[in-house]
Chains A and B, each alone.
Chain A
Amino acid sequence: MRRSPLAILAFVLAAAALVLPTGADGPSPVFFATPAILFAAAAVALFVGASTTSLLTLLVLVHIAAYGLIALLGSFTVAGPGIGYWCMVVSAWLLAWLAVQRLAALRLASADAQRLVNLALPVLFGAWLLILWEIVVRGFGVPTILLPPPSMIAARIAGSVPTLWADFQQTFLKAAIAGYVIGCGSGFLAAIIVDRVPFLRRGLLPIGNLVAALPVVGIAPIMVMWFGSYWQSKAAVVVIMTFFPMLVNTVAGLAASGAMERDLMRTYGSSYGQTLLKLRLPAAMPFIFNALKINSTLALIGAIVAEFFGSPIVGMGFRISAEVGRMNVDMVWAEIFVAALAGSLSYGLISLVERGVTFWHPSYRS
C-alpha cells in the first residue's frame, strides 16, 4: 500500500508533539490524553489499510483530538501555546484533510448511505473551518474586535435569540419577503405586457435598465423619505432591486420557445392566452427561476442595507450598524450568521421548487 504523504507528515508531527512542550499550564487529563489520541489517530491513518472501519476510527479519533485541542486553549500560560501545540494542530488538520479525502472517494452500495456521505462532506468541511478559526484566533490571541472566535459568536446567538428573532422578523419576514413578492410579481407582469406590446419592449426595457443601475445606497434614503422609516421603505428598496432581473429574465424566457413549437400552436388555432399558458410560460420557467434565485439574495442584501438609512430600533441592518458603533462585533457576526442562514435556506428552497418545475430541462433530466 502506498502511504499518503499527508499521513506521513501528520504522523511525524503527532510524534513530535509527544515530546515537544505544548505550553499548557499544569497537568490535566486533557493535557495527557490529547497528544496520545492524536498519535493513535495518526498511527491508524498511516499503518491501517484504508477501509470503512479504519476511516470511521480515524474520524472519531481526530475529532476527539480536536475537542482536546480546543479544551487546551483555556489552559495556557501567558506565553501562549508552545511549538508542541501547533504541531498537534497541524497534524490534526492534516488527518482531518486525509479523512475527508478518503470519505469523498468512498463509493457505497446503499444509496441512502451514499447520500449520508455526500451530506457529511460539506458538514465536515464547515466544522473544520470553525475548529481552525477557533484555534487560530484564540491561540494567537487575535483581538475579538477584529475577529471573534466562533464559540463567542455562538454564545452571543444563544444569548440573544429574542433580539435576533425580532430583527429577523422585521428585516426578513416583513421587508425582504414583501419586497421580493411585489418586485418579482410586478417584474413578471411587466414582462408579459412588454412582450405583448412591441413598442414597450423598445421603450420600457431601456428605462428598466436604468432603474437596475441605480445604486441601492442612493435609493434607500429616498425610499425612507417617501415611505417612512418602518419596513415599508425597505420593501420598496427591495422592489426596485428585484423588479428588473425578473423583467429581463422573463422577457428572455418568453422568447425562448422555438419557432416550430409556436407554429405548432398556430396550426391548432390556439389563442394568445393558450399559447402563453401551454407553451411560452412553461418554456420560460428556467429563466424565471433564474431570476427568482438571483432575487432571493438581492432581496436580503437590499433590506439590510436599506436599514442603514433610517429605521426603527429593530432590524438586522439597524442592529449591524448600531452594534458596530458600540464595538459589539460578536453581535454583528451573529446577525451575519442569521442572514447567511436565511439566505442559503431560501435559495435552497427555490432551487428545490425549480427542480420540481423544470425537471424536463436538459440540466435536470435523469
Chain B
Amino acid sequence: MTVVALRSKAKTMSDAAPVNVIDVHDLSLVFETNDGPVNALSNINLAVSGGEFVSFIGPSGCGKTTLLRVIADLEQPTSGTITVNGMSPSEARQKRAYGYVFQAAALYPWRTIGGNISLPLEVMGIGREERKQRVAKNLELVNLSGFEKKFPWQLSGGMQQRASIARALSFDPDLLLMDEPFGALDEIVRDHLNEELLKLWAKTQKTVIFVTHSIPEAVFLSTKIVVMSPRPGRIHEIIDCNLGAERTLDIRESPEFLQIAHRVREGLRHGHSYDGTHL
C-alpha cells in the first residue's frame, strides 16, 4: 500500500500510514502586494504520514515557511485543499493538533521559563497541578531542569530555543512544526541541538516538519527532504533519506550521508537554474 506524495512535477518514493497526518493537493497561495501578485506557493502536493521527520529546504523566497504557516493555519491558501489530521488546518489549530517552534524563541520576558512552558496549558484550561507536572516533565525532556524559575533573558540563545521546544511539546501535540528553529544559533550549539532533537523525536514518536536552509541539518535529521525552489514557490523534488534510527553527528562523514547531501544540493541547484531560464 503506497500513497505517492507527489502528484505533479516532483518525483517521490514514500510509503505512508493509513491516514496521512498532512495531505496537500494542488495548493497555491498568492500574496497581493503593492508590486502586484506574488506566487508564494504554486501547485503544492505533499503527503506526510505519522512519525515522519520531514524537512523543507530551499533558498529564501521558495515558500518553505509559508507552506509551514499554511499547515499551521497562520496563512490561508488561495486555492487547493489541505488537511491536517484529516481536518481543515483551522479545525486542527482549534483542536491544538500541533506545536509550533518559531525562528526566534519568542518567550514572553515577563514570565519565567516555567511560566512560559505552562502558557499554552493555561490557554487550554489545564489545572494547576497538571501544569506543574507537565512543565517539569518537558523541562527534563529538553535538559533544562533547574531553570524553571529563571527568566528568558537570563538564558543563552540555545537554552531559550530549547525552552521554546519544551513549550511546543507541553500540551503533547502529535505534530511538531519547526520554522528554522536553530537558524539564529552558532554551529556548535546547532549541532548539539540537532542531536538532542533527534533523540527527542525518537523518544516521543512525533511527526516533525522542519524548515531549514542548511543541507547537513536536513540530511542529518530527516526521513524525507522536500526540496523547494522560488518564483513561484514550489516543490522541486522529494528525497527519501533514512540513515537509521541511531544517528550521531559522525554519520555526517559517511558516504550515504554525503550522497544524499549531494542529491539535495543538485536539486537545489537545478531548481535555481530552472528558475533562471524563466527569468
List, in ascending order, chain B residues with CB within 8 A of A215's CB.
none
Residues 106-120 of B, flagged 1 when their CB comes within 8 A of A and 0 if not, give 101110000000011
The reply to whether B106 and A261 contact each other, CB–CB distance below 8 Å, is yes
B36-44, B90-98, B190-198: which one contacts chain A?
B90-98
Number of contact residues on A: which range applies?
20 to 34
A267-B100, A269-B93, A269-B94 as given contacts; A274 in contact with B108, CB under 8 Å: no
Alpha-carbon distance A261/B110, docked complex (angstroms): 13
- A256-312 contacts to B, CB under 8 A, are 258, 260-261, 263-270, 274, 278-279, 282, 285
Answer whether residue B122 sits at the interface, using C-beta atoms and an 8 A cutoff: yes
Closest CB of chain B to A189's CB: distance in Å?
Answer: 22
Closest chain B residue, CB of each to CB of A266: B74
Answer whether residue B102 sits at the interface, using C-beta atoms and an 8 A cutoff: yes
Closest CB of chain B to A122's CB: distance in Å?
Answer: 31
List, in ascending order, chain A residues with CB within 8 A of B151's CB.
360
The reply to whether A360 and B153 contact each other, CB–CB distance below 8 Å, is yes
Answer whether residue A365 sits at the interface, using C-beta atoms and an 8 A cutoff: yes
List, in ascending order, chain A residues with CB within 8 A of B95's CB.
269
A267-B74, A269-B96 as given contacts; A260 in contact with B153, CB under 8 Å: no
Answer whether residue B124 sits at the interface, using C-beta atoms and an 8 A cutoff: yes
A261-B108, A278-B119, A360-B109 as given contacts; A267 in contact with B153, CB under 8 Å: no
Alpha-carbon distance A279/B171, docked complex (angstroms): 19
Closest chain A residue, CB of each to CB of B90: A269
Closest CB of chain A to B252's CB: distance in Å?
Answer: 31
The reply to whether B123 and A278 contact each other, CB–CB distance below 8 Å, is yes
Number of contact residues on B: which range applies?
20 to 34
A360-B151, A360-B153, A365-B153 as given contacts; A267 in contact with B72, CB under 8 Å: yes
List, in ascending order, chain B residues with CB within 8 A of A264's CB.
100, 102, 106
Alpha-carbon distance A204/B12, docked complex (angstroms): 57
Closest CB of chain A to B176's CB: distance in Å?
Answer: 11
Closest CB of chain A to B111's CB: distance in Å?
Answer: 8
List, in ascending order, chain B residues with CB within 8 A of A266's CB.
73-74, 93
Closest CB of chain B to A170's CB: distance in Å?
Answer: 39
Answer whether residue B230 sits at the interface, using C-beta atoms and an 8 A cutoff: no
The reply to whether B99 and A267 contact each other, CB–CB distance below 8 Å, is yes
The reply to whether A282 and B110 contact each other, CB–CB distance below 8 Å, is yes
List, in ascending order, chain A residues with CB within 8 A of B104's CB.
260
8 A–B pairs (Cβ distance < 8 Å), ordered by A: A266-B74, A269-B94, A269-B124, A274-B123, A278-B119, A278-B122, A278-B123, A279-B108
List, in ascending order, chain A residues with CB within 8 A of B74's CB.
263, 266-267
Closest CB of chain A to B236's CB: distance in Å?
Answer: 27
Residues 238-265 of A, flagged 1 when their CB comes within 8 A of B and 0 if not, give 0000000000000000000010110111
Alpha-carbon distance A197/B113, docked complex (angstroms): 34
Closest chain B residue, CB of each to CB of A269: B94
Alpha-carbon distance A360/B153, docked complex (angstroms): 8
List, in ascending order, chain B residues with CB within 8 A of A361's CB.
109
List 15 additional contacts besides A263-B102, A269-B96; criterion CB under 8 Å.
Answer: A258-B106, A260-B103, A261-B108, A264-B106, A266-B73, A267-B93, A267-B99, A268-B96, A268-B124, A269-B93, A278-B119, A359-B110, A360-B153, A361-B109, A365-B153
Alpha-carbon distance A285/B93, docked complex (angstroms): 29
Alpha-carbon distance A270/B99, docked complex (angstroms): 13
List, in ascending order, chain A residues with CB within 8 A of B123's CB.
265, 268-270, 274, 278
List, in ascending order, chain A residues with CB within 8 A of B109's CB.
360-361
List, in ascending order, chain B residues with CB within 8 A of A260's CB.
102-104, 106
Alpha-carbon distance A263/B100, docked complex (angstroms): 9
Alpha-carbon distance A361/B108, docked complex (angstroms): 11
Alpha-carbon distance A285/B109, docked complex (angstroms): 12
Closest chain B residue, CB of each to CB of A263: B74
Alpha-carbon distance A264/B96, docked complex (angstroms): 12
Closest CB of chain A to B175's CB: distance in Å?
Answer: 11
Alpha-carbon distance A360/B232, docked complex (angstroms): 42
List, in ascending order, chain A residues with CB within 8 A of B106's CB.
258, 260-261, 264
List, in ascending order, chain A residues with CB within 8 A of B102's CB.
260, 263-264
Closest chain A residue, CB of each to CB of B122: A278
List, in ascending order, chain A residues with CB within 8 A of B119's CB.
268, 278
